[in-house]
Amino acid sequence: MENKEIILSILNDLKNGRTPSHTDYNLHLDIWAEFIEYLDDVKYIKEVTIYWFGDADEYYDERVHSVDLCKAKLTPFGENFLAEQMN
């Protein structure tokens, strides 16, 4: 799957009340966290928590422990983006 397809699928899952997981896309947890962090950064989704191992001062040592999407929601901006891309 291409990155854009993964992003649209994640947004669509959240819109439809499903909680996607990295295993749905055969992605390593660190890569999955990058997708989720990107979607949160560009304000397509909100209420996301990413848990990290490692020292916050040493970025290269940080590894993702887990990604919590149980409260994740699309923002209005994310809904508009999804609607535009699906047409």
pLDDT at 82 over 60: yes
- pLDDT tens, 1-20? 799 999 999 999 999 999 99
Given a contact cutoff of 8 angstroms between Cβ atoms, the answer to whether 9 and 20 are in contact is yes
Q: Quick one: average pLDDT of 59-86?
A: 87
pLDDT at 33 over 80: yes
Structure tokens at 5: 């397809």
76-86 and 3-15 helices cross at what angle (nearest 10)?
A: 120
Burial of 32 by CB count in 10 Å (0-12 exposed, 13-18 middle, 19+ buried)? buried
pLDDT at 48 over 90: yes
